[in-house]
Homo-oligomer: A and B are copies of this chain.
Amino acid sequence: MTVTDLSYALNTFYLLVSAALVMWMAAGFAMLEAGLVRSKNTTEILVKNILLYAIACLCYLLVGYTLMYGSPDVTDFAPQANFFFQVVFVATAMSIVSGAVAERMKLTSFLLFAVVMTSFIYPIQGSWSWGGGFLANAGFIDFAGSGIVHLAGAAAALAGVLLLGPRKGKYGHSGNIYAIPGANMPLAALGTLILWLGWFGFNGGSQLSIVGQNNSSAVAQIFVNTNTAAAAGALAAFLLVRIIWRKSDLTMILNGALAGLVAITAEPSASSAITASLIGLGAGVLVVVAIIGLDRAHIDDPVGAISVHGVCGIYGLLMVSMTHPEATLLTQLYGIAVIFVWVFSLSLLIWWLLRVTMGTRISAEHEYSGADIADCGVEAYPEFVYGKTK
């Protein structure tokens, strides 16, 4: 047994634990979304979340990983640990989409989109930066994926939402905006806390090695910054909402925490905890503004995914130019544009193809009675929702 063996083992273990935490984010998205949709669409959103994860794992295994990294030359840890760490990232990107299109998107169309997204759209884009392609060469810096994962997911979601239109009853004839409260706030809070925990793996693992004083310190700093940005984001969202409406809107606070997490993801190691908290504060404010802005624009996103992952992803990438010595605003903007245009336009095309062939939107009748009955056969809380005779 040598020091190299030990380092290899430790790095492998560190990466596997990180990846397992990111896998756990699948549960976070599932619970968050299950909490924020109405109960009549809850079972269906759970089905989507489980299956998108399954599809992402299989498609990335069969196609995506090679597209993104070729046959990477991994020496510091077990190659399979690297694969596992990468595969859970693509699942995260796809999870972002499911929330935004919730309560009205056909299950099968969604799953087919997941196949294309995780096999091609995401990996090709990822190869340009993390795969060592032209974005990496241009100096675009996105440490753990504010852009490559979160913005990418949000761009695909935005394309889907634009083609789908809002949920029935969300916007009135005269431009009124109606609230459609989700069914289960504890689940939404649980989901957010799961995501918060998983994010330590997401950002912490992205250092890719923990051995060596630099690496150890960097990973520790990442944990602290990740946590601090989330805390600041939650607090900022709370204060803003409290000042405007004199109410403490739980879901905005949850979105604030996630906004902080997304924003710090672009560069979680370069800044001090104080800077991280400032970045988080900004994200918490921004996400509230973005959610309300999108609502005003009649872009209906039941869980706020586009605001959290898209708007705050961009914000985080731009902040990198201030915290990272080698990043410039220009290269960051360039990277943002490339990722957004690629993912958005390709997604739009795929969603559109799905719409003209098999349809992407459930029927009005099913939207009214709920996707659970239409697609799944059982409601989320069968005893509480409808009576039945046995």
The reply to whether B193 and A57 contact each other, CB–CB distance below 8 Å, is no
Q: Which of B17, B257, B274 contacts A17 (CB 8 A)?
A: B17
Which of B185, B219, B227 meets A43, CB within 8 Å?
B185
Q: Which of B78, B80, B215, B224 touches A80 (beta carbons < 8 Å)?
A: B224
The answer for the CA separation of A384 and B256 in the assembled complex, in Å, is: 26
Q: Is A12 an interface residue (CB 8 A)?
A: yes
A206-239 contacts to B, CB under 8 A, are 210-213, 215-217, 219-221, 223-224, 227-228, 230-232, 234-235, 238
Q: Is the interface of A mostly helix, strand, loop or mixed?
A: helix
User: Closest B-chain residue to A57, C-beta based?
Assistant: B231
Q: Give the contact stretch, choosing among A137-145, A241-249, A286-294, A303-311.
A: A241-249
Copies of this chain, complex-wide, total 3
Docked-complex contact A20 and B200, CB < 8 angstroms: yes
CA A377 to CA B252, docked complex, whole Å: 11
Bound together, the chains give a CA A26 to CA B230 distance in angstroms of 13
In the complex, the answer to whether B223 meets A54 with C-beta atoms within 8 Å is: no
A197 touching B23, Cβ below 8 Å: yes
Q: Does A61 contact B (CB under 8 A)?
A: yes
Whether the pair A54, B234 counts as a contact (CB closer than 8 A) is yes
Q: Does A129 contact B (CB under 8 A)?
A: no
Q: Is A44 an interface residue (CB 8 A)?
A: yes
CA distance A248 to B249 in the complex (A): 34
- Binary interface profile of A, 24-60, with partner B (CB < 8 Å = 1, else 0)? 1011001100110011001110110111011101100
A390 at the interface (CB under 8 A from B): yes
Report whether B5 and A212 are in contact in the complex, using a CB–CB cutoff of 8 Å. Answer: yes
User: Contacts of A54 on B, CB cut-off 8 Å?
Assistant: 230-232, 234-235, 238, 257
Among A147-155, A175-183, A312-320, A345-353, which stretch is in contact with chain B? A175-183
**Does A378 belong to the interface (CB within 8 Å)?**
yes
Other than the known A27-B194, A46-B185, A46-B250, what 20 A-B pairs have Cβ atoms closer than 8 Å? A1-B7, A3-B6, A6-B6, A13-B14, A23-B196, A23-B200, A23-B227, A42-B186, A43-B185, A57-B231, A58-B231, A78-B221, A81-B223, A87-B227, A180-B390, A182-B382, A183-B382, A186-B380, A250-B376, A384-B384
